[in-house]
Structure 1
Amino acid sequence: MNESTPEPSESDVLTAASAIVDAFAATDTQSYFSRFAEDASFVFHPEARRLNTRAEYEREWASWLADGWSVAACASSDQLVQTFPGGAVFSHTVDTTVNTADGRESYRERESIVFRRLGDGGLIAIHEHLSTVPDPADGSSAAGPNAAESKPGAEEVAR
């Protein structure tokens, strides 16, 4: 461990990740985005492009809300924490149900969140990557029939 950039504890990473998942599950926009750095980047399988800043993601999120989207439920499982001096990677499987203008949708996805350790010892998310979970029945990489159309699920934490 580097004395000038200590590794966060597994407990601290799990707490930070849980706060993101909980804020996402509550569709709590302010709390959710406060846990990401302004320069955080986001890769979501349903989106055509990478979102290079938190502000870009916030605009997408606002458009989803305007279209009637909200999170009904979000559960994290199969969690893995990998720490390193100055940060950590948190990965998990996330089961999400969302409300849309067309009704409820549920899906299972995999998510990785990269955290950076702050000067005060806290953690802030600097990258989130959401991907589909292959269907074991057919070996497909799609999360379901609407996977290409779905909004990110978790955390979404995510996310």
Structure 2
Amino acid sequence: MTDTRTAVLAAADALVAAFGRHDTKAYFDAFSPEATFIFYNLDRTLASRAEYEAEWALWETRDGFAVRACRSTGRNVQIVGDVAIFTHAVETDLSIGGEAMTNRERETIVFARQADDRWLAVHEHLSAAA
């Protein structure tokens, strides 16, 4: 179980690090193509990685969206067979339209072990911090 937990945390760390440096290729590569996304600031569920990538590109072009840094705290991993549920508090420095801001949120990312033993994210749920 410890090796599995370590592998899931490494996958989560890579995902968060890519997000924090606005490395869209590495960030989206951390997700399965079939991954789904629920964000509190969207009125709909994004039903695939491709839908999220299109939304992200819209944020960049329409809103001037850019991630500057990201910090993950209060991390927990729950292993259920070949599925892992990663929860954490996330603080993100970003800019929108040239204006700097910091978001404080809670996030659940569900990872699934792949046939090659990699852990890919298959679902992300983001909520505003209380």
TM-score in same-fold range (> 0.5):
yes
- The counterpart of 2:106, out of the listed 110, 113, 116, is 110
- The counterpart of 1:40, out of the listed 15, 29, 35, is 35
2:15 corresponds to which letter in structure 1? I
Name the structure 2 match of 1:10. 5
In the alignment of these two chains, the number of paired residues is: 129
> Between Structure 1 and Structure 2, which shows a larger proportion of strand residues?
2
2:117 corresponds to which letter in structure 1? G
**Structure 1 runs (4+) greater than 3 angstroms displaced:** none
Bigger relative CO (Cα 8 Å, ≥ 6 apart): 1
Could you list the per-position Cα deviations for residues 78-123 of structure 1 after superposition, in whole angstroms to 9, with x for gaps in the alignment?
Answer: 0000011112000000011101105011121000000010111111
Percent of aligned pairs with the same amino acid? 43
Any stretches of 5+ residues in structure 1 without a counterpart?
2-6, 135-159
Name the structure 1 match of 2:93. 97
Question: What is the TM-score of this pair, normalised by structure 1?
Answer: 0.78
> Between Structure 1 and Structure 2, which shows a larger proportion of helix residues?
2
**Which protein has the larger Cα radius of gyration, Structure 1 or Structure 2?**
1
Q: CA RMSD in A?
A: 1.5
Query: Structure 2 matches for 1:1-159, cutoff 5 A?
Result: 9-66=4-61, 67-134=63-130
Displacement of 1:49: 0.5
In 2 relative to 1, CA 8–123 (structure 1 residues): closer, same or farther, beyond 3 Å?
farther
